[in-house]
Amino acid sequence: MKIGILSFANANAWKYARSAKALGIELLGITDENEERGRKASEELGVSFIPTKEEFLSLPIDAVIICSENVKHKDDVLLCAQAKKHILCEMPLAISLQDAQIMLQHCEENSVFLIPALPYRYSPPLQRTKEILKEGQIGEVVAMKATCRSKLPHGWQATRRLAGGGAIIQNAPLMIDIMRWLIEDDVAEVYAEIARSPHLNIDVEDVATLSFRFKGGVFATLDPSWCLPDSYPFPFDATIDIVGREGALIVNLFAQLLSHIDENTKSFNWRYWGSDIYLLMLKDFSENISEGEAALKASDALKALQVAWAGLLSGEKQEPVTL
């Protein structure tokens, strides 16, 4: 399989590039509207930098990984679909429900796959969690409590103009998708409390707590805040506690950590040694595209985003929103 990466605006582009090399997937080239950023990445990776998207899409590639700023996802997806390239797009898929629906329709009309980047589905702890739930080991699920917190992002991701939103739009969808996937149910109602820390000088929410009522009656909460300090030894967390009538599960996606104390730099960090979920996702994407199948469904990303957008609306209106 041959791929190209469209933009290195999102740092996850580096994860895809390194995963492609490890998997033996040929990275033919990259393009980036920020030429300095793109050329720097191409030199470090040893691949061609293509100055325009049109030239980039003329390469003999099977698929494109889109890591541009959120607000550019729609135009980039439409362009790739028109060129008959399959697409793996970073989340959030779009900055509005209408844009996402247009993207899905355009990809269907051009017979290309639009795959959302949902790496948490490839987490071994979560895959085992789903198996335990299917086996009925904790009985009927009645409640869930999750976190997907991170440090404050810098640059475009902390601006409404390029990101489309803050912590709710950028952090929450991945864990909302996991909740839906684990219990195989949709959210019926969402209520959120949100805040923008005045000392940060940003125009998006950085603190949020969401409460969900699922159609089947399950109650859940989620904290997607940008609340981890710069001194925190890891850039993010992802946890979910699940309470059933006959037991409970406490799940930490990134608990496989080594504590690293560096006396020279007087620093303390955690180093993750568990499974590389981006590599696992790209491997599945490659194999499924080669077989003409969709590894993940854009409709699932759409539903997660719909809940996130409802949460943002709830926080602004300070009242529950029914979906």
Q: Which two tokens stand for residue 118?
A: 């949902």
Per-residue confidence (pLDDT) for residue 67, from 0 to 100: 98
Per-residue confidence (pLDDT) for residue 290, from 0 to 100: 83
CA distances from 169 to 71, 222, 306 (A): 12, 13, 10
Report the distance separating Cα 224 and Cα 194, nearest Å: 10
Strand, coil or helix: what is 29?
Answer: strand
Q: What residues are paired with 211 via a beta bridge?
A: 191, 221
Let me know how long the chain is: 323
Strand, coil or helix: what is 257?
Answer: strand
Is pTM beyond 0.85 here?
yes
Task: List phi, psi (to 5°) of 169.
Answer: -70, -35
Nearest CA to 204 out of 240, 242, 161 is that of 161
User: CATH assignment of 120-322?
Assistant: 3.30.360.10
Per-residue pLDDT for 295 more than 80?
no
53-75, pLDDT tens digit by residue?
999 999 999 999 999 999 999 99
- How large is the average pLDDT for residues 6-12? 97
pLDDT band at 291 (very low <50, low <70, confident <90, very high): confident
Largest CA distance in the chain: 58
pLDDT band at 275 (very low <50, low <70, confident <90, very high): very high
Per-residue confidence (pLDDT) for residue 293, from 0 to 100: 81
Strand, coil or helix: what is 21?
Answer: helix
Report the distance separating Cα 59 and Cα 182, nearest Å: 39
Helix (H) or strand (E) holding 28: strand 26-31
pLDDT band at 140 (very low <50, low <70, confident <90, very high): very high
Per-residue confidence (pLDDT) for residue 234, from 0 to 100: 94
Nearest CA to 227 out of 251, 254, 272, 195 is that of 195
- How large is the average pLDDT for residues 64-88? 98
107-132, pLDDT tens digit by residue?
999 999 999 999 999 999 999 999 99
CA distances from 6 to 59, 91, 233 (A): 12, 14, 30
Contacts of 43 (CB under 8 A, 6+ apart): 49
Q: What residues are paired with 228 via a beta bridge?
A: 151
8 A C-beta contact, residue 34 and residue 93: no
Q: What is the DSSP letter of 33?
A: S
When mean pLDDT is compared across 94-103, 208-217, 250-259, 284-293, the lowest value belongs to 284-293
- How large is the average pLDDT for residues 179-207? 96
Per-residue pLDDT for 39 more than 80?
yes
Per-residue pLDDT for 29 more than 90?
yes
- How large is the average pLDDT for residues 204-217? 97
CA distances from 72 to 30, 67, 131, 304 (A): 16, 9, 37, 19
Per-residue pLDDT for 236 more than 90?
yes
DSSP string over 160-191:
HHHHSSSHHHHHHHHHHHHHHHHHT--EEEEE
Q: What's domain 2-117's superfamily in CATH? A: NAD(P)-binding Rossmann-like Domain (3.40.50.720)
With b meaning 16 or more CB within 10 Å and e meaning fewer, what string describes 89-107? bbbbbbbeeebbeebbebb
- How large is the average pLDDT for residues 234-251? 97
Q: Which residue in this structure is represented by tokens 């991945």? A: 174
pLDDT band at 16 (very low <50, low <70, confident <90, very high): very high
Per-residue confidence (pLDDT) for residue 294, from 0 to 100: 79
Task: List phi, psi (to 5°) of 161.
Answer: -60, -40
Domain-wise residue ranges, the chain: 2-117, 120-322
Report the distance separating Cα 70 and Cα 84, nearest Å: 21
pLDDT band at 90 (very low <50, low <70, confident <90, very high): very high
Per-residue pLDDT for 292 more than 90?
no
